[in-house]
Amino acid sequence: MEKLAVFGGPKTKTTPFGTGKRIGKKEKDELIDAIDSDILFYVFGSKVKQMENLMAAMYGMKYCNGCSSGTAAVHIALGSLELPPGTEIITSAITDMGSLTGVLYQLLVPRFADIDPETYNMDPDSVETLVNDRTGAILLVHHAGLPAEIDRFLEIAKKHHLVLVEDCAQAHYTTYRGKLCGTFGDISAFSLNHFKLITTGSGGMVMTNRDDLEEKVKLFIDKCYFRDGRKRNPYFLAPNYQMTELQGAIAIGQLEKVKSIVNRRNRLGMRLIEGLAKIEGIIPQKVPDYCIHSFFLLVVRIDPQIIPASVQEFCKALDAEGIPSEPNKITGGMPVYMYDIFQKMNAFPGSKIPFVSRDLDSNVEYPKGLCPRAEEAFEHTFNFNITEFYTEEDIDDMIRATEKVASYFREVKK
Ligand SMILES: Cc1ncc(COP(=O)(O)O)c(C=O)c1O
């Protein structure tokens, strides 16, 4: 048996991972253009509008709106729905807090669906068991860049007259049965933060085909100010979530690259999956053959019956081999409902709103065991991060290192 690097053996990875620059000449030119125009405000400038038109055309959508973050995008999407406070929103137990921030600010009540243990996306059956007469929307997260089982969610939404909001923060240019994620629901939200497939540092986008929602989206981004000459008279509460011309300029350049970034990541990611699937005791995230995974992350399961190691031990050994991996990257190792904000019902300190409230007629709690498959997943899965700059050799090194570490722990068991 080969000695693991963590115990002083030779490291698997002896060459550096491929790197590259994400922000190039196009972004720089657009940015200089924005600065030279002396206008950084989206209403008077052209860059945010140009970015919105590009994105809408690329996705075949009627409307796209730039905004300040993915968190803002989800909040705007929910705000545009004008759901009464206390309305329940069903979302995933495994997602970024940014999916939940807007839910809570709108005094909506989150309900958490369990996940499919193979794709780690929301399980439609679990969602359906949560639907009741207080449910207003499904906030569908495409986890890790893999499309959720959209046809089922569309069916459920239709059957129960619910709005479908797609959280595509991790799923740029990702397709389900040949159609882009973000074009299925009533409205969709994207993030452009540093970690996403394309970035403006911070930023977001909201898309819809519905005229009624688009009007509210525009107002929700901008303090409920009319920007079309109508007299200023805000009639509902809306934050300032404007995208600046600087972000818009960068986004133009990034959007031109998104397709090639996703193509490249998909090729590398599928090569990684193919290699990992051959390793006894290692189960990579399942990618249905009608889905294109954009590999924001890859989720990898360790079968504890075959590999008697904790994910922390396994990742530590991979790290020593020169292969970065992370246990539980997105949520910090627990389903979101285990965060203090939910456990202590502390969204608005000093009250239990919106979780428990007489005014909202709400009374929910999030006990441990609420979503057992999500809880279990954190114990037995870790994430690989790949970038479009990695080479095929990098991927093969990742596979070799995983096999080396897995075989060590398999042997330990014997
Ligand atoms: C699924 C999901 N939704 C929303 C967000 C929030 O995006 P942002 O960080 O741009 O506010 C993120 C960010 O990680 C995310 O992964």
Q: What is the pLDDT of residues 209-247, one digit of tens each?
A: 999 999 999 999 999 999 999 999 999 999 999 999 999
Number of helices and strands (H, E) in the chain? 12, 14
* Ligand 1 proximity of 115 Cβ (cutoff 6 Å): no
> How far apart, in whole angstroms, are the C-alpha atoms of residue 91 and residue 111?
6
For residues 360-366, average pLDDT: 97
Name which residue sits closest to atom 10 of ligand 1, judged by CA: 70
pLDDT of 186 strictly over 90: yes
State the closest ligand 1 atom to the C-alpha of 142, by its place in the atom list counted from 1.
Answer: 1
For residues 377-383, average pLDDT: 94
Q: Are 372 and 114 in contact (CB under 8 A)?
A: yes
The CATH topology of domain 25-255 is Aspartate Aminotransferase; domain 2 (3.40.640)
* Ligand 1 proximity of 204 Cβ (cutoff 6 Å): yes
- Per-residue confidence at 174, pLDDT binned at 50, 70, 90? very high
Name which residue sits closest to atom 7 of ligand 1, judged by CA: 70
* Ligand 1 proximity of 65 Cβ (cutoff 6 Å): no
* Pocket probe mutation, ligand 1, options 67, 68, 69, 71, max atoms within 8 Å of Cβ: 71
- Per-residue confidence at 11, pLDDT binned at 50, 70, 90? very high
Q: Is-above-0.85 flag for pTM?
A: yes
Mean residue pLDDT of the chain comes to 97
For residues 106-134, average pLDDT: 98
- Show me where the domains of the chain are located: 25-255
* Pocket probe mutation, ligand 1, options 99, 101, 197, 294, max atoms within 8 Å of Cβ: 99
* Pocket probe mutation, ligand 1, options 74, 92, 96, max atoms within 8 Å of Cβ: 96
Q: What is the pLDDT of residue 413?
A: 66
* Pocket probe mutation, ligand 1, options 170, 202, 250, 254, max atoms within 8 Å of Cβ: 170
pLDDT of 1 strictly over 80: no
For residues 269-279, average pLDDT: 98
pLDDT of 330 strictly over 80: no
Distance 169 CA to ligand 1 centre (A): 5
Closest CA to 405 of 387, 389, 385, 382: 382
For residues 108-114, average pLDDT: 98
pLDDT of 5 strictly over 80: yes
Q: What is the pLDDT of residue 251?
A: 98
Q: Which segments within 150-211 are labelled E, that is strand?
A: 163-167, 175-176, 179-180, 187-191, 204-208
Name which residue sits closest to atom 14 of ligand 1, judged by CA: 96
Q: What is the pLDDT of residue 412?
A: 81
For residues 67-92, average pLDDT: 98
State the closest ligand 1 atom to the C-alpha of 204, by its place in the atom list counted from 1.
Answer: 10
Structure tokens at 135: 């449910």
State the closest ligand 1 atom to the C-alpha of 69, by its place in the atom list counted from 1.
Answer: 10
Q: Which segments within 114-208 are labelled E, that is strand?
A: 135-141, 163-167, 175-176, 179-180, 187-191, 204-208
